Structure 1
């Protein structure tokens, strides 16, 4: 399940960049390619949330033995914030709001924080 989660995260980030670029280039109501890609991105949001929940539930015993409930809770919160900021940045850009750039910067900062925290947790690749 961890491989599904990581793959879904990578695909979601790539789709996010693609959708953001599509709306940045052509922000009209008839931009069907951006609309369809945005819907696919929303499906990947759900896959990321579901697979992350399954990874957490599947490793509950190891998490409780290591005493890492708080760090995994923070990681879950950062993951939800990441998805929220990704969606808000795209919707603000779609509505031609001035806050789209600020939300994009916040989104990138939260994505970086989430990836770093996920990599340093016991299931991550940088665990010591």
Structure 2
């Protein structure tokens, strides 16, 4: 199996695991170790997403994949902001709203673009 073809599955797996870990860490009272594991998954998401972005240049959709890449970085940023502000006992409502908006936007883009999987087909 080619790495770039397999990286789609690897990328999806890493962000699914990261979202599950994030929700567990956000709901747990003490999650310092879990937060560090989640940061490792952030790096894996960025690496596999970068590999997909490079492969996307063959599709002539660089701008759309660039927008998706930036939205993905914003999702990771909101996840990190929520966990850090929660640890400092500061309000996180705005960041939760932005997280949900960015997450839906990146999922929409990811499944709409040519390398994405169509759940409705």
TM-score, normalised relative to structure 2: 0.88
Gaps of 5+ in 2: 1-6
Q: Work out the CA distance in 2 between the residues paired with 1:124 and 1:91.
A: 32
- The one of 87, 95, 99 equivalent to 1:103 is 95
Matched, 1:45 2:48: no
TM-score, normalised relative to structure 1: 0.83
Checking the alignment, whether the CA contact within 8 Å between 2:53 and 2:66 is kept in structure 1 is: no
Q: Work out the CA distance in 2 between the residues paired with 1:73 and 1:56.
A: 7
CA apart distance, 1:60 = 2.4
Moved over 4 A (4+): none
RMSD: 1.6
CA apart distance, 1:37 = 0.5
Structure with greater Cα Rg: 1
